[in-house]
Amino acid sequence: MSIWKKETSFNYDLYEEVDSFFENLKGQKEVEYREGQHMLALDVLDALKNKEMLLIEAGVGIGKSWGYLIPLLYASKDKEKFKGFLISTSSIALQEQLKDEVEKLSKMLNIDIPVTIAKGRNNYICQKRLISYMKKHSDDEMLNKLLEKVEQGVVDKEEYKEIPNKVWKNINVNHVNCASCLHKKDCGYMLKRESFPTANYVICNHDLLVESLKRDSNDSILKEPSILVIDEAHNLEDKIRNSYQGSISKNKLEALIINISCMINDDLDFYEDNPIITSLNNVFRLISLNAKNKYRRNAKEDIEVFDEEISGFDISFKLKEAIIDLDNKLETLIIETSNYRYLDKKIINYINILKNYVNIFRDLIKNNSDNIYWVSFISNTNEHVSLEYVRKDIAKEASRLLSNNNYGKVFTSATITTNGNYNFFADSLNLNEIKGIPLIKEFPQDSPYDYHNNALLYLASDVISSKSKDHSLYLDSLALKIDELINITEGRSLVLFTSKEDMKQTYQRVNLNNHNFNIMLQTDDVNIDDLKARFMEDKNSVLFATGSFYEGIDIKGEALENVIIAKLPFPVVNPIIEEKASRFVDGFSEVYLPLMLIKLKQGAGRLIRSSTDKGIVSILDARCNEYKEDILNSLPFTNVTDNIKDVEEFSLNKLGHAMIKKGEFSK
């Protein structure tokens, strides 16, 4: 923490007020004093005063939201100098949670501020799209009642939780042109959006933040604050990348070609035996074929590839020739259309879209392309893919978006360091290259929870390698170990996987045995929130899960005393990761390893969620010895073992469970 002085644009009493607030918590029973929270608050004041960029990791239990909200609420009393705050987080649920925290603290401090929750367009109903959808579903009475509420200005998704996602995708605000919409004056979304720049205290999500930062200052969605706080900052790079991602669908490009050709030729039979469509089909056929071949090759090395449903592809000689052929035909169509005697805005727009497609195809076959390319396999089809792309220089774009030096910025999360430093996170956003803004990397604030007495890390040394040629034998070994561990704690376990297929097959093996507790399985057809609720309610249950359960699940108490990580969560090899790694001499150490450690910290962080929580984290990966130093430097555990007897003893003495005796594992 940098030393603050009396010379400041804000009243010196602000520091004394914040410092006194935390000092007065010491010895109180109602609200617990946390030193890390206290230090975080003073660091945030420095960032506010000096317009710094502050990087600070706050371990589980620090209470980082209070750590930054307390100083911001006190600062808000200075109406003349404090222009307000903008807080960005990773989900709507966290936005709502933060608003509740602000309201709670406002009452405690007797500081009343009006907080606005700002959400992205996809979270609101579009009246125009709703009316269009109703025409196709005129027999649905629910839609008529829905329209009545929308006409009254009720458009927030939170008010319509009963609407299925497949319906919501057809009626929400998307990339329509709101400026020319007939419903603009009474549109609930537009009225909401117009209120964002006038609000002084805003809580938004990362998607909306990035959208605002990308706009010109005159068209910014969100007002320039005195300070920007980015919570859950480990997700920001992905959100920025997603905002620059583009896609080419064969069907959409085909429809565009047909529309243009029919408009200028009045030829309704254009599609049949058309050379441009034939060339287009050939390009996508070759892209699909090349991608599937690479997908299968990668899946042999890493089964997690199957969960991604994306793949890179090689530019073969045949594919390059096919793209050049398509390029020539599209260029001819653009010239013919540009010379059409009745050009209107619609045709000009079509031409510009087509030119963009041509530029993408040309970049694709360049020796040093500007973009990263891959395909997404379209669900429920055997052959169809969409061509996805994103610019390579995302870190450079990130630093540009974050380069405004008119206000301080705080980046915080429980997982933004690896091996105790911020280098990977800072490099991913190119923060070191931003000029004119001091970059302050504070010492990570460790969790206040008693890991030494309440937690054990078990690094299993007797499991078969996941790289074994006999994958079935590996799964047998994994299932045996998981079965042993969940019996030690009599259930109460979250088992985290990196592969859905491995999870499913291991679940089937473990479920062959008789247990005195329920074993649940995360499946695509089960609502995540419902599954979390069932797991929390059934305190002796076991949940096999992937993906989203590595973070965002907060289960306190005896319902979760055992977190089992089946495999070190290295990222799946894909074109984005490959491109990032290619920038380093040792791409594995600079990219793959840090990403694994961050994900591992998130998974291990599910265990201890309160000062009274106790439990075991087990990592069942033969590679643990290879990365042991990195793992131990990144996780907060002091008690570490590779002996299952120590796990049994800890469970008996600390958790009060005697291991369930069982026979040999069924095969």
Q: Tokens in use for 553? A: 């699940």
Asked, for residue 412, whether it belongs to a domain, the answer is: yes
pLDDT of residue 88: 96
Shared-domain flag, residues 213 and 281: no
Shared-domain flag, residues 184 and 98: no
CB burial of residue 169 (10 Å; 0-12, 13-18, 19+): exposed
CA 586, CA 592: separation in Å to the nearest integer? 10
Q: Give the CATH number for residue 58.
A: 3.40.50.300
Exposure on the CB side of residue 565, measured as CA atoms within 13 A: 31
Exposure on the CB side of residue 521, measured as CA atoms within 13 A: 16
pLDDT of residue 5: 37
Q: At how many degrees (to 10) do helices 64-75 and 92-109 cross?
A: 50
Asked, for residue 216, whether it belongs to a domain, the answer is: yes
Shared-domain flag, residues 412 and 376: no
Query: For the chain, what is the domain count?
Result: 4
Shared-domain flag, residues 595 and 516: yes
Give the residues across from 560 on adjacent strands: none
Asked, for residue 2, whether it belongs to a domain, the answer is: no
Shared-domain flag, residues 303 and 218: no
Shared-domain flag, residues 52 and 114: yes
Closest CA to 134 of 121, 150, 119, 118: 150
Closest CA to 14 of 25, 26, 5: 5
CB atoms within 10 A of CB 107: 10
Asked, for residue 8, whether it belongs to a domain, the answer is: no
Shared-domain flag, residues 219 and 268: no
Asked, for residue 53, whether it belongs to a domain, the answer is: yes
Shared-domain flag, residues 93 and 231: yes
Last residue of a domain, one of 146, 169, 189: 189
Asked, for residue 667, whether it belongs to a domain, the answer is: no
Give the residues across from 619 on adjacent strands: 459, 565
pLDDT of residue 160: 80
Asked, for residue 359, whether it belongs to a domain, the answer is: yes
Predicted confidence (pLDDT) per residue in 86-118, tens digit: 999 988 889 999 999 999 999 999 998 999 998
DSSP class of 538: S
pLDDT of residue 272: 59
Give the residues across from 617 on adjacent strands: 457, 563
Last residue of a domain, one of 350, 367, 391: 391
Predicted confidence (pLDDT) per residue in 302-328, tens digit: 888 788 889 999 999 999 999 999 999
Domain that holds residue 336: 247-391
In 414-463, which ranges are E strands? Answer: 439-441, 455-459
CA 143, CA 159: separation in Å to the nearest integer? 14
CA 298, CA 306: separation in Å to the nearest integer? 9
Classify 31 as helix, strand or coil: coil
Give the residues across from 411 on adjacent strands: 55, 230
Distance of CA 544 to the CA centre of its chain: 21
Shared-domain flag, residues 147 and 126: yes
Shared-domain flag, residues 132 and 261: no
CA 307, CA 327: separation in Å to the nearest integer? 33
Helix, strand, coil % in the chain, rounded to nearest 5: 50, 15, 35
Asked, for residue 660, whether it belongs to a domain, the answer is: no
Q: Tokens in use for 33? A: 């004093």
Shared-domain flag, residues 542 and 647: yes
pLDDT of residue 474: 95
Give the residues across from 374 on adjacent strands: 388
Tokens 């792309």 -> residue: 389
CA 598, CA 532: separation in Å to the nearest integer? 22
Distance of CA 224 to the CA centre of its chain: 25
CA 496, CA 107: separation in Å to the nearest integer? 40
Shared-domain flag, residues 431 and 540: no
Q: Tokens in use for 369? A: 């392309």
- DSSP per-residue string spanning 294-311: HHHHHHHH-TTHHHH-EE
Which stretches of the chain score pLDDT less than 70?
1-12, 175-177, 179, 216-219, 266-273, 379-383, 658-667
pLDDT of residue 664: 39
- Positive or negative, the CA dihedral 317, 323, 329, 335 is negative
Give the residues across from 562 on adjacent strands: 493, 616
Cα Rg, the chain, nearest whole Å: 28
Tokens 């206290």 -> residue: 38
Find the DSSP H helices in 365-470. 394-401, 423-428, 451-454
235 neighbors 551 (Cβ within 8 angstroms)? no
Closest CA to 85 of 103, 107, 101, 69: 69
